[in-house]
Chain A
Amino acid sequence: MEKKWVAGTPKLWINTPVPIPFCPGCNHGTAAKLLCDVMDEMEIDQDVVLVVGVGCSTVVYMLVNVDAVMVAHGRPCDAATAIKRMLGKDKIVITLQGDGDSLAIGTESTIHAAARGEKITTIMLNNGNYGTTGGQLAPTTPMDTITTTTPNGRSDVHGYPIKASEFLSNLDGVAYSARGAFTSTANYMRTKKYLKTAIQKQKDGAGYSFVEILSACPSNWHMSPQESLKFIEDKIIPQFPLGEHKNIDKK
């Protein structure tokens, strides 16, 4: 009987000689697996260029068997813009970023790539803090949350979280914007559908596409992986609702 691959390590996963430095329960590895499976199922890996900035997402640059680029903190959308324009429309350029990378230091890069309607796709993991540097206040940190730089909780002193998926959907250059999560199988499958749609928008030349994924950061949240997922369900999703915020075809 012919053997068929049905589950396990994604085909595009690279076995590194060093242990993968993700914390237990971190969703960055989940997002990387999702990306691998989507690229495999869409049969696009030969034409993909993956761009990462600085943060926990940087690690994925070493784990996925496609051409990949690591650039400055916050600047994947600038680099991806140039890569796409230099290589032409047949290439699929995907940025994988954290919320600090995409929405704090890289706000200009993200917003202007979106406004120009660059034919690139951004996957932004929103875990509400800076994971790599030890859990500081991020532009996405929900109100009242304690971080290492908001020891008494986020209040109006620090201002309010940015809801990227809704915000970007207001820009004319954006063809697709959605927010998913990994808190259940159903949410995982919906997020997978969002990512496939986003990449398809790029292939169609419709414009910039953006998928935000609410992600667990158990180490910095001081919770178990299970508690982290429950926290997302109970506390974060009510503030950051899941779903598609924009879905338009090529004009």
Chain B
Amino acid sequence: MKKRFLVQGNEAVGWGAIDAGCEGFFGYPITPQNEIIEWMAREFPKRGKVFLQSASETGSINMLNGGAVTGKRVMTSTSGPGWSLMLEGISNLCNAELPCVIVNVQRGWNATRHAQTDYTSLTQGGGFGGYKTIVLAPDSIQEIYEHVQLAFYLADKYLTPVVIASDAILGQMMESLELEKINFPRLPEKKWAIKGKSHHKDGERRSSCIAQGMLPSKKYPNLLSFWKSYDEKLKLIKKEEVRYDEISLQDAKLVVVAFGYVARVCQEAVNAARAKGLKVGLLRPVTLWPFPSEIIKEKTKQGVLFLVVEDSLGQMVEDVKSAVEGQADVHLISCLDRHLPLEEGAIYPEKVFEKINTLLN
């Protein structure tokens, strides 16, 4: 029998990292992700892995740069303010084409409770240079564990940072977790890794640089050659890596679009509405970038309405509108619809059900 146990979302990050073969973690305390770095501090050193607490998130992300150049799997985690400090580093990691994993346990602006207010910063290349990173949005503790493994695989496959968008609710709630290491296809050996010349069979030096295209190399003799190659990589990811989950979309007249903890809320509302005979479905983007635009375009052609539910003032709604191209009505339930004015407030299934009921009657 596989091992099942009750675990907190933030600690599931740790279990995922172990099963992904992560060898180094660099982090700085910030609520609501502290359980991640505390777990790593306890569990990594006794397994011979590197754990190091930095002096800031700027430090963490640049340690991640150093760890990633060695070709070993490395990660960090943070929340809102720390996330914004990391953006310069993420720009650099994208330019240097270094694989690594970053977890953002989102909070509401500077309120330390849950929210989804970093969506745009996460998905639209919030730093400088115009990069994009793959963004995975789990909605359960089991999926956090699986997404950490998937994130490391995708990072190595495309030589890019991969981000996991968690939040304070997912990070701090407990659910049952079944440990099962995922077997991904074999990837090429990291011959580019920096380890000292004595490790390289060809005797040639290796180098890694955050100014690819500016400092000339054999691979990228100039800036345009770098931009062309980076553009091809982003196009390939958009073609190959879109992931989403759908519930009752087949005959739906109204499609609810939600991710993360809010998708769980919406699932309850959709189930209740279906029980009353309302033709409503749920589309849950699993990759926030690349965004599942094609399925939204397809549903638009079938003449559905859209209801975006997100715990921000409305950020993902812009991606939905962009996919719809003005051909369908797009409604929004936002953080303004929380059940309490305090930071404990959340979007409740009743609110979503009410809106579904109004839109379909």
Contact = CB atoms under 8 A, between A and B. Distances in A.
Interface of A: 18, 45-49, 51, 58, 61-62, 65-72, 75, 78-83, 85-87, 91, 108-109, 112
B175 interface: no
A80 B69 CA distance: 10
B67 A47 contact: no
B82 to A, nearest CB: 14
Interface string B302-313: 000000000000
Given A67-B207, A69-B66, A70-B211, A83 B194 contact: yes
Given A68-B207, A71-B92, A78-B62, A83 B69 contact: yes
B210 interface: yes
A81 B63 contact: yes
A82 B65 contact: yes
7 contacts: A61-B207, A61-B209, A69-B194, A70-B210, A72-B92, A80-B66, A108-B59
A86 B67 contact: yes
A72 B55 contact: no
Q: Which of A49, A62, A67, A81 has the most C-beta atoms of chain B within 10 angstroms of its own C-beta?
A: A67
Contacts of B55: 108-109, 112
Contacts of A68: 194, 205, 207-208
Contacts of A49: 194-196
Q: Which of A49, A51, A58, A65 has the most C-beta atoms of chain B within 10 angstroms of its own C-beta?
A: A49
B63 A82 contact: yes
Interface of B: 23-24, 26, 50, 52, 54-56, 58-59, 62-67, 69-70, 72, 74, 88-89, 92, 194-198, 205-211, 215-216
Contacts of A67: 194-197, 205-207
Nearest to B23: A86
A83 B66 contact: yes
Contacts of A80: 66
B58 A108 contact: yes
B74 A75 contact: no
Contacts of B207: 61-62, 67-70
Given A82-B52, A86-B70, A108-B58, A46 B63 contact: no
The secondary-structure label for the interface of chain B is: mixed
B198 A47 contact: yes
Given A71-B62, A78-B59, A86 B24 contact: yes
B195 to A, nearest CB: 6
A61 B211 CA distance: 12
A85 B50 CA distance: 7
A61 B186 CA distance: 32
Contacts, number: 123
B56 A83 contact: no
Contacts of A61: 207, 209, 215
A113 to B, nearest CB: 9
The secondary-structure label for the interface of chain A is: helix
A35 to B, nearest CB: 14
Q: Which of A70, A78, A81, A83 has the most C-beta atoms of chain B within 10 angstroms of its own C-beta?
A: A78
Given A66-B205, A69-B69, A75 B24 contact: no
Contact of A86 (B58, B74, B88, B209): B74
Contacts of A79: 62-63, 65-66, 69
A53 to B, nearest CB: 9
Nearest to A90: B196
A113 B133 CA distance: 29
Contacts of B65: 71-72, 75, 78-79, 82
B319 to A, nearest CB: 30
A78 B62 CA distance: 6
A95 B65 CA distance: 14
A60 B206 CA distance: 14
Nearest to A84: B66
A130 B72 CA distance: 35
Nearest to B92: A72
A87 B52 contact: no
Contacts of B52: 81-82, 85
A99 B12 CA distance: 42
A66 B195 CA distance: 10
Given A62-B215, A72-B89, A112-B59, A83 B70 contact: yes
Nearest to B60: A78
A82 B194 contact: no
A239 to B, nearest CB: 29
A66 B92 contact: no
Contact of A83 (B67, B88, B211): B67
Given A82-B26, A86-B23, A46 B66 contact: no
Contacts of A45: 197
A172 B210 CA distance: 32
A91 B62 CA distance: 19
B192 to A, nearest CB: 11
B211 to A, nearest CB: 6
Given A69-B194, A86-B23, A78 B54 contact: yes
Given A69-B207, A70-B211, A72-B88, A82 B58 contact: no
A84 to B, nearest CB: 8
Nearest to B89: A72
A18 B216 contact: yes
A247 B128 CA distance: 42
A63 to B, nearest CB: 11
A82 B205 contact: no
B206 A109 contact: no
A69 B69 CA distance: 8
